[in-house]
Structures are given as C-alpha cells and as structure tokens.
Structure 1
C-alpha cells in the first residue's frame, strides 16, 4: 500500500454534499410506514416513553437514533428517516476513506464512493428507518479509522485512532449484531499485516508482534504491540456496545439492571435464532449476489398516487462487482498487492458469515454490507487493471444510467398505474 495523499478533503466535502442532497430529496415520501419501519419506529416510540422492552431481538442503538430523529423533527416520515440519510452519507464517505487509505489516490476513492452513492441498496437504506443503514455506517467508518491508525506516524496517534475504530465497531454491533465479526477481523488483520511486514523485512515473529522492533519502527501501527492492541480493541468495542443499553435502565416496566445485562444477551440470541414461519420475500444467502429475490418495500396507492420502493442493487455494481472481486483475487495471486486482497476480504468476510449464523430465514437486505464492499472491489479492480484509461468513467456512466432507470422505484415517485411494476421486474422472481 502506498502512502495516502494529504488533501482529500475537498473531494470528501463535495461527496458529502451530493450524497446528503440526493438522500434528502423527497425523503418524506411515502408519509406512511413502509416495510420494517413498522417494527423499528414503534420501538423508537417506546424508547422515547421509556415504557419497557420491545423488539428485543436487536440491540438499542439504531432505534435510539431513530428516536432522536422523532424528538428532533417530529413523529413523522421526516423524523423517522432523517438520521438514516446521515448514515448513508457517512457510508459513502467511509468508502471514500477506505479506498483513499488503501490506494493512496483520490481518483479511485471518488469513483468507489460514487459507485456506493448510486447503488440502489445504499440509496434505499439511506431513506428508510431500519437498522442496517446505521450498522453499515459504523462498520465502514470503523474500518476506515483502523486503516487510519495503520497510517499513523507516531505511537500516540496510532493508539488514539485505534481506540476510535474500536468504539465505532462497538457501535456497529450495538446497531445490529451482524457487525460483530468485524471486531475479530480487525484483530486478525493487525497480526497478518505485522507478520507480512516482518517477513518482507527479515524480522522475527516476536519483533513483528512487539511494540517496537530493535533498531527501527513498524511501518504499520507504530508503537503498538499485538496483545495490547487486541485487548484494547475487544475491551473498548464491548464497552461501547454495552453503553448503548443505558436507556433500558430507566424503563418504567422491566427496567434493565447490571445483573440482567448479560442474561438479556441470551434472550436476544434466542429471539434471533427462533424458527420463523415462511415469508414471501425470504431468500437463501447464496442467491443474494445474483439478486434473485429483491424486495418490494412498498407497492401500493399512497399519498395520492401509485408508488413503489424496490430494494434492488444497481445491476452494474452488484453483478459487475462480482467480476471485480474475481479480478482482485486474480490480481493478488499475480502481484501479491495487499489492496487487492483487502478488497476481496472485505466482501468475502461480510458475506460468508451468513452461511454460518443460525438464521431460519434470510432476506436480500442482509446483503447490504457486502453490496457496499463490492464498490470497494470495483474501484480497486479498475485502478489496478485500467489505470490511465477512462474505463472508470465509462463504468460510472453505466452505473448512473441504471440508477436513473430504476430511480422511480427507488424513490417512491408516482407511477402510471398498478401494473407499472412490470417495467422494472426483469425476472419473474423480482415480482
């Protein structure tokens, strides 16, 4: 990995403004609850009232943030969803930061962020009061912070950034448990990078895992030893996670206590792993990369018109991203470039966990985090194989064209009638 440039801030600011404007445009439409908002908005209302535990299968943080939107902007569609737009913008900027830190160049970072911005999954989750948008935002920002720590020039700076990344990953888990593996991935990555550095520099394993090798300084995470780093990562992320349960201690019915806090996690696990009845939009994890079963979050006459919201990824990003993952893997096998392997690892690590966890039902929106990391793989692959050409621009134009094509059913625009959905349902399973 090359050293990152010093001034990506102008590009980041422009991306933030573009993302926030796009996510906020007509945000309040539809004005009724749609899809899983019917679970999480009522849960947020209960948190505001401190009336007692509801929706206990998930941690509190994302519902607390939704509650904050209601308190700030009212119990209406704008209040439910506004903070989701900030999470979406943070996700886009997180992709930008990850790529900038991985590749050391602003151009591929901008393109990766734009791929995320115009990916239907990111756009929709940034405009709905669900948990996944917050989980993804904290996860992506946490990864960026840990990479930032990796680039630090002093021990103090490395440690402060490492703690920041640990807090963010803990908050990601506090939004939704599926982020938990990334805490373990961070520890594994720290050790793997240090061992690779030691191998290249002819140092021992002991020197690799120690805070400071004899006669030098570590290229990555200077002044940090492996065991303290992993302990801090685990301790800080766990503390951040449990801190988000603070409102539960003030419930008027069944208040939380320190004695109940750990057993309550087992109750949550039981809720997560219970066998659920068949759902018309359920799908198996191995079907998600090909978008076999997208989800209609809304399709009805509402607010004076026929409207729809189809959770579907941008085909160029989701299908092209799979080619990019394969290309990154091939490029790493040929060159051993770390950025190529990292891009593969981000997608694979966020996806294969769904093949392991004991969930009785799966849904396409579970693929949200992997769909974000496909944008990283696309940018890394284009930078590696097509640098100096205009293929990144051409591909972005394709992404923009497909985003525009699907925009009416990404944004709940008025449609021309009850059968309008046929235009966007390219396959029978998309109905």
Structure 2
C-alpha cells in the first residue's frame, strides 16, 4: 500500500478517534439533567416506554438522575418538536440505561463523532485534497461548540448530522448527473429520473426535519440548489434551452425525487404517536393523520409566537459576532468545599463556545470567498466555494427572518460543518502555488523577478496558514474545559471571557 493510500484511511480514522475521545470520555459528567435535557431526555424515556411523550410529577429531575426513571405518568405531555431526535436519545438509554448520564447522552456523542468523518468526506470530495479535508475535519473535531453539543442531549447535534449527510449525498449525485447532462442531445438536454442520491438526500432531510422543523428550510434550500445547479450545468454543456429545461422539465422531477420521500420519512418518525392512543391531541380526529395535522397546527402556533425573554437568547444577526454563547450548565462550589489547582474558588461550565479563532476565521473566509467568487478568481475552487456557501446559507439565513423569536447561539452547530469547510477551502486557495504575473515582452530579469515574487507569495501564505492552524489548535485546547465541564480556578475561567456577553 502506497503512502497516499494509507493517508486516505489513516487520517479520517485518526480524526474520528480524537473526536470520540473528546466526546465520550467523562460523558456521564455531570450526573444531572442540564439545560434542555430536562425536556428531551425525559421525553425520550417516555417515548421508549409509552410510544408518546408522557408527563412527569413536579420537580422530577433530581429523582430521575438518582435512578427513579419509572415515575413518569401516562398522561400525554404537550411537546413542540418532532420525535426523531428523542427516539435517538432513547436508543442510548435502551442500550445503557436511564440511570446514567452516559446512557442518555450516548447517541448525541455518537452522532457528534460521526459528523467528523462525514465532514472529512465532504471536504475531500470538494477539494480533492487530503490536506484541506484534514483541516476541515480536524477543526471540527476539537471545536468547543461541536464538543458541547455532543456531550449534552439536545436535538441540534442530530440536526447537524442529517443536514451534512444530505449535502454529502448531493455531492455523490453531482458527478453522475453532470456527466449525463454533458452527454445529452437536443435543445433541452436529458430528463433525468434515475437519481438515487437525491432520493437519499430527501431521506436525510426528512430525518433532519423530524428532529427539528428548521430542517424544512434546508429542504427548501436544497430544492432551489438543484434547480440552479442543473440550469448552470446545462448552460455549460451548450444546451440552448437550458433555463426552460431546468425550470420546466427537470425541476418537477427533482421535486418528486426529493420531497415525497422527505415527507414520508417525517411521517414515519411519528409512528409511536400514530399507533398509540395516548399522545397529545391524538383523539382530536378519528383519522390519525388528521389528528396529526391538528397537532401540527398547534405546534406551529407555538413556534411562531415564541418570544419569551431568556438571559441567553441571541438573535441570528449576533451569531457571526459570537456575542452571546449559551451556558448550559454551571457549577460553582462554595469556597473551601472543593479545590481546583491553586485556588479554592472554582467554577465548572458547559457552554456553546466555539473555538473563537476558528469561528472568526471562518467568517473572514466566508467574506473572502464571496469576494473571490464575485471577481471570478476562484478557479478550480469555484464550485467548492459555492457549495460551502450554499450549506451555510440554508442553515443560517432563514433564522434572520425571526428577529423577535427566542433563539440561541447553539443553533449554529448546524452551520458549523459548512463554516469549517469554507475555512479549509479558503486556506487551500490562499496557499495554492501562484503562477508568475505575465509581463508582455519581459526581459529575462523581469521574468525571473516575477517568478521569485510568486514563489515568495506562496511561501508567505503557507506560513500564514500554518501559524493560523497552530494558533487555532492551541486555542481549542485552551477552551476545552468550557465544553466539558472541567472544574477551573475562577481567574482561569474568567480569562476565557474574551467578549463581555460571554460572562
């Protein structure tokens, strides 16, 4: 086996192992329900036992964490998120029990770990570069936001995985479909029915929507992407009626390949509610599907009207600036009861702090990518850049439509795979080998100078890229305690508060 082939499997395996260690070691800490685990973990347990979400007595969290998992009631609870993410949480509890944090967080850690090789695969296929793929997946593996959402049983980590999976399927479809378009004849080009990877993307997006409704925005965005990409490819292939063919002929077929299977996956996720009689609003109509529709109308009204104040609420316009991460768990023992290094004034936190160097660097990369695409200087990076921006757009821009809704910065974990991919691609573009500037009728010395200047530029950007990655890695290590709940001396914890809104 050649060195290149060994790297092809050794690198993603190594990155996956790093991700697994950071997500699974000490997963049971803290042994209490933190933040919205109070909803999702207990809902998952009643789903497993009743087939629908049941209610609990007053103040059940301490009793549940102590092993009293059977104190739930058969009366239906009103929940406002679809059930798939909670079924996945329930899988870990079925395997390892409901009496340990490891059990109720196992699935979140598993999907958070699997997201790393998935991002590697996407970046590798986009860039044809092991280096670019390693940077993208490596930054994700050690990122505090990704780690925190893998160590706390919330829904957004599952959403991030299924969205990234759908985009991986889109990439698998692209080469096959573009080859068929390029071989097509006539003014309209081929009408392509056999696109199994688009069907697979529909399944993944149906699963994403069955975790959180924000997956529906991604489904709509992917539909638009398919129409636009099909039109552009037909235009490149010289098809005269490329716009009409993409919009009037292929678009309806793409809709049938994508949307019905997504809808089917979504409805199947409600099987427990449909086949039992105790779920909330289950008896609102003799027809179970009509009753499900009634329930969805109620949930929609809840989501649209959600504007309750919350100390960690962060509107979407703030997210790129990283003004208000979410503190999901905080413990500050009384002075003298517990020591941490040199101090007896200690604090432990689990928060949604991404690596700030990666985060701000990624948004700078996004701005660079937009400028490069506008100026048409992307070269072979053109499609990879556009693909990463598409993923970011469908996971971020819809949230800007709800400036008054109560939303949180940890929702950005669904954006994070595309941000690290964009950053890795931008670094790959910056460190590329530069050709000397062509000077008409240049003398030998002028041509030699141009060549030396291009080589110096390449070296400078490669030094910059290397330094940036070293700083990003060191910063990730520095911020690791904030995503794992490690007890720190208070002054050391406070040294992490780089922005006033982080306190």
TM > 0.5 between the two? yes
Unpaired segments of 5 or more residues in structure 2?
51-73, 181-191, 283-287, 340-346, 434-461
RMSD over aligned Cα, in angstroms?
2.7
Report the counterpart of residue 271 of structure 1 in structure 2: 302
SS in 2 for 1:235: helix
Q: 1:364 maps to what in 2?
A: 409
User: Is 1:191–1:209's contact at 8 Å kept on the other side of the alignment?
Assistant: no
2:259: which partner in 1?
Answer: 234
Count the aligned residue pairs.
414
1:291 and 2:322 equivalent? yes
Q: Does 1:26 align with 2:26?
A: yes
1:176 and 1:248 mapped to 2: Cα distance? Answer: 17
Question: In structure 2, what is the equivalent of residue 82 of structure 1?
Answer: 106
SS in 2 for 1:410: helix
Distance 1:54 1:209, change over 3 A: farther
Q: Which runs of 5+ in 1 are unaligned?
A: 211-223
Match of 1:376 among 421, 427, 430: 421
Where does residue 60 of structure 1 map in the other structure?
A: 83
For residues 129 and 117 of structure 1, the distance between their equivalents in structure 2, rounded to whole angstroms, comes to 18
Corresponding position of 1:13: 13
Q: Deviations over 1:210-257 (max 9, x none)?
A: 7xxxxxxxxxxxxx9442222120111111111100011244524742
Which stretch shifts more, 303-312 or 292-301?
303-312
Instruction: Indicate conservation of the 8 Å contact 1:328/1:343, yes or no.
Output: no
- Equivalent position to 1:144, from 168, 171, 176: 168
Q: Identify the residue that residue 216 of structure 1 maps to in structure 2.
A: none
Is the Cα–Cα contact under 8 Å of residues 56 and 271 in structure 1 kept in the other structure? Answer: no
Find the aligned partners of 1:229 and 1:304 in 2 and give their Cα distance.
Answer: 60
- 1:43 to partner: Cα distance: 0.9
Q: Which residue of 2 aligns with 1:412?
A: 485
Indicate if the aligned counterparts of 2:111 and 2:150 stay in contact, CA closer than 8 A.
yes
Select 1:135's aligned residue among 156, 159, 163: 159
- The match for 2:358 among 317, 321, 324 is 317
1:104 is aligned to: 128
Distance 1:278 1:226, change over 3 A: closer
CA distance in 2: counterparts of 1:386 and 1:206, whole angstroms:
36
Secondary structure of the residue aligned to 1:29 is: coil
For 1:250 and 1:144, the matched residues in 2 are separated by: 33
CA-to-aligned-CA distance 1:2-34 (integer Å, 9 cap, x gap): xxx999444333322222222111111111111
Q: Which has the larger radius of gyration?
A: 2
Q: Single out whichever of 183-192 and 141-150 deviates more from structure 2.
A: 183-192
Structure 2-normalised TM-score? 0.76
Question: Quick one: distance in 1 between partners of 2:251 and 2:410?
Answer: 35
Question: Alpha-carbon deviation of 1:65?
Answer: 0.7
Partner of 2:386: 341
Name the SS for the 2:176 alignment partner: coil
Q: How many Å apart are 1:135 and its aligned residue?
A: 0.6
Deviation string, structure 1 residues 119-168 (Cα, Å, up to 9, x no partner): 21111101110000001100011111111111237889962222111101
Distance across 2 between alignment mates of 1:344 and 1:322: 11
Alignment deviations for residues 180-214 of structure 1 (CA, whole Å, 9 cap, x no partner): 1121222222221222122223212359847xxxx
Aligned partner of 1:165 in structure 2 is 201
Task: Show the counterpart of 2:430.
Answer: 385
Say whether the 8 Å CA contact 1:138–1:169 is kept in structure 2.
yes
- Separation (CA, whole Å) in 2 of partners of 1:357 and 1:8: 43
Equivalent residues of 2:193, 2:253 under 8 A apart: no
- Asked if structure 2 preserves the Cα contact closer than 8 Å seen for 1:195 and 1:205, the reply is no
Aligned counterparts of 2:402 and 2:135: Cα–Cα separation in 1: 33
* 2:373 paired with 1:332: yes
| Cα distance between partner residues in 2 of 1:158 and 1:10 | 34
